[in-house]
Structure formats: C-alpha cells, structure tokens
Amino acid sequence: MTKLQLKLVEQVRQQNPVVLTIANMVTPDKVADGLSAIGASPIMSIAPQESLEMVELANAITINLGTIDDKQKDEVIAVLKANHNQKPIVLDPVAIGASHYRLAFAKQLLHNYQFTVIRGNAGEIAALANINWHSRGIDSGNGQADLHEVAKVVAHKYHCIVVLTGKTDIVTNGDNTFINQLSTSYFVTNVGSGDVLSSVIATYLSISKDYYAAACTATKVFSAAGVKAARESSGFGQWQVKFRDELATLNSSEVLSVL
C-alpha cells in the first residue's frame, strides 16, 4: 500500500517552492492561481534567452504541450538543456492522441530527455504506449485497453512515474501502483484541471526525495480539494472559486476525511 506524504501539504506553504511552467496559451492564469493557492510561487516563460536563469531559479519544472508551436518548441528544448542539476520535470502531453505533430514532438522529448513524471488522461497515455484509442481533442476518449497496464507500460518505457487521470486516477512507477477514486465531474467541465494538476505535482516533487509518494500525494490532495468544493457548490462557477479556496486551506487531516 502506498504511503502518502501528507506532511507535504503544509511544507509547500512553508517553503514556497518556485515552479517554472512552460504553459499553453489557454490556461496560464488557472495554473498560476492554482500554484499560488497551494503555497507555491509560479513563474512562466516564453523566451528561450532566459531559460538558464529560469531553470536556476526554479525548484521544479512543468512542460505543457497544449498549444505547442515552433517558438515554444525552442523554449522547451532550451529549458530542458539548461536543467543541468536535474530538477524534477513533469511532462503534460496535452491532446497528443489527436495530433501527429504533438505526438511526434512528445516522443522526441521523451527520447532525448529524462522526465520525472508524465501526467495525462487515458487518450494521451495510450498514445505514448502506441495503444489504439479513440481520442477526442483534450478529452480522454475511449478504448478497450486495461488502463492500469497501459500506465505501467509507459512508466517502464520512459523510466518515469505516470499519472493517468480520469474518473479514477492511476499513479504508477511501473512496479507500484496507487489508485485514487476521488473525483468530480467539474474536473472535466473545467478546462485546465489537468494543467493545474501537472504543476501541482511538480510542486510536491520539488520538496520530496520520494518522487513516487509525492506524485501520489499531490494527486490525492488535488482531487480531495475538488470533491470537497463540489459538495459545497451549487454550480460550476461557484465550484471554481471554492476549489481554489480548498487548495489554499485544505490541511493534511482533511484530505483523508474526504471520501
């Protein structure tokens, strides 16, 4: 059984780690607000010229491929090359199952650089496993494969931790697997939920030596905040506000009380 590191909830607020996110153009404000809510210090960049300084400043990095173009490719590669001290990196391969262009770039990155975590939905992780899956843009789509096995295949293939998110979240390093069944439909409605989670995971990686436990903990805390907010909300707009409030105030004991 995976032991969660719930002490990280308070440690993030105490240490205020800097998380560099190479964001997509759709959700940078949501990511920044989410990181600020949990106690991290968000920073974003689009200029390859400052990549070395940004990486030196950051405690962890998130690479999001949601609106990738040639200019952002240069930034991504510059950041990865500048990461000499091997600070933890999360790859969010947004919608790679829907675009050969995105999939090819994601595989290029994974072939050339080591990532700590890959965080994606079923369609995105299946694409990395070369599994036939019907993807629908940023949605997870559907297919017949065993998602637990798909996640393990990708973890072994790229020697990293995989966080496959959906109604049930699967976190695996290829040998150990953590299942998180906390979820709310608002995560699907809210464009950018996955983007925020990817950077939240990076935050937790930055203050723990046990990357697997940190990824499991971040996933659990994030979903607990969302579920708790849903129970106190009458609609989507209200949930968005309450979700950020929960991220900012949820403590370690409350995480376990959300069932």
Residues 169-225: tens digit of each pLDDT: 999 999 999 999 999 999 999 999 999 999 999 999 999 999 999 999 999 999 999
Burial class (CB in 10 A: 0-12, 13-18, 19+), 137: exposed
Residues 68-120: tens digit of each pLDDT: 999 999 999 999 999 998 999 999 999 998 889 999 999 999 999 999 999 99
pLDDT at 238: 97
Q: Which residues contact 169 (CB under 8 A, 6 or more apart)?
A: 163, 179, 180, 181, 182, 183, 219, 223
Query: Looking at the predicted structure, is the pLDDT value of residue 133 above 60?
Result: no
Q: How far apart are CA 71 and CA 248, in angstroms?
A: 34
Report the predicted TM-score, pTM, of the whole model to 2 decimal places.
0.95
Residues 12-25: tens digit of each pLDDT: 999 999 999 999 99
Q: How far apart are CA 204 and CA 164, in angstroms?
A: 17
